[in-house]
Amino acid sequence: MIKAILIFNNHGKPRLSKFYEHYSEDTEQQIIRETFHLVSKRDENVCNFLEGGMLIGGSDYRLIYRHYATLYFVFCVDSSESELGILDLIQVFVETLDKCFENVCELDLIFHVDKVHNILAEMVMGGMVLETNMNEIITQVDSQNKMEKSEAGIAGAPARAVSAVKNMNLPEMPRNINIGDISIKVPNLPSFK
């Protein structure tokens, strides 16, 4: 079982938090802070596993994380999950994000956290892995988005136009976390079928 999935940036700002067990809002923030503290002090070339902190976990739980440019992707899992499998799942998740957002960067996650949630929901459900096949995930996400668009119909058009205009004055941040060009050392795992 997966207990929680957290994404935060190099400064510990949460970009997505999904807890599959209930915690109060305060505890959630504490967990994010603690996890960030644990993960951020680790060097680049150490292993991707660490024993969970005080708040989340216990002996059966461990944190499995990957660091992509400015973002940390952290999964808190128990011993029923395969460690290397989860590492691979994170990779699938990031690659899926990359496909769905076309060269994903931190900004996409900042402004479209709802979409990230929707993508994640196609992969992990209630703490259990639902789908590991990237194409299948993308197909389902796309057809749901299509449905959303068709529901908005003509009425949605002006709103979209306005939001496009609004987006033009985005603070210019370099789209610096293109995942494609950051080589991550993956122990030769074939992608799941």
Per CB under 8 A, which of residues 138..177 are in contact with another protein? 140, 143-144, 147-148, 151-152, 154-156, 158-159, 161-163, 166-167, 170-171
**28 to 67, contacts with another protein by CB under 8 A?**
28-29, 42-43, 45-51
Task: Report, in Å, the least distance between residue 103 CB and another protein.
Answer: 19
The CA–CA distances, whole Å, from 71 to 6, 32, 40, 54, 111 equal 10, 13, 11, 23, 15
Tell me the window of 67-75, 96-104, 132-140, 175-183 that interacts with another protein (CB under 8 A). 132-140
Which residue, 95 or 131, has its beta carbon nearer to another protein?
131
What DSSP string runs through the chain? -EEEEEEEETT--EEEEEESS---HHHHHHHHHHHHHHHHTS-TTS-SEEE--SSS--TT-EEEEEEETTEEEEEEE-TTS-HHHHHHHHHHHHHHHHHHHTS--HHHHHH-HHHHHHHHHHHEETTEE----HHHHHHHHHHHHHHHHHHHHHHHHHHHHHHHHHHHT------TT-STTS-----SPPPP-
Which residue, 122 or 178, has its beta carbon nearer to another protein?
122
Task: Report, in Å, the least distance between residue 142 CB and another protein.
Answer: 12
Task: Report, in Å, the least distance between residue 89 CB and another protein.
Answer: 8
**69 to 88, contacts with another protein by CB under 8 A?**
80, 82-85, 87-88
Tell me the window of 67-75, 93-101, 104-112, 176-184 that interacts with another protein (CB under 8 A). 104-112
Tell me the window of 67-75, 97-105, 121-129, 175-183 that interacts with another protein (CB under 8 A). 121-129
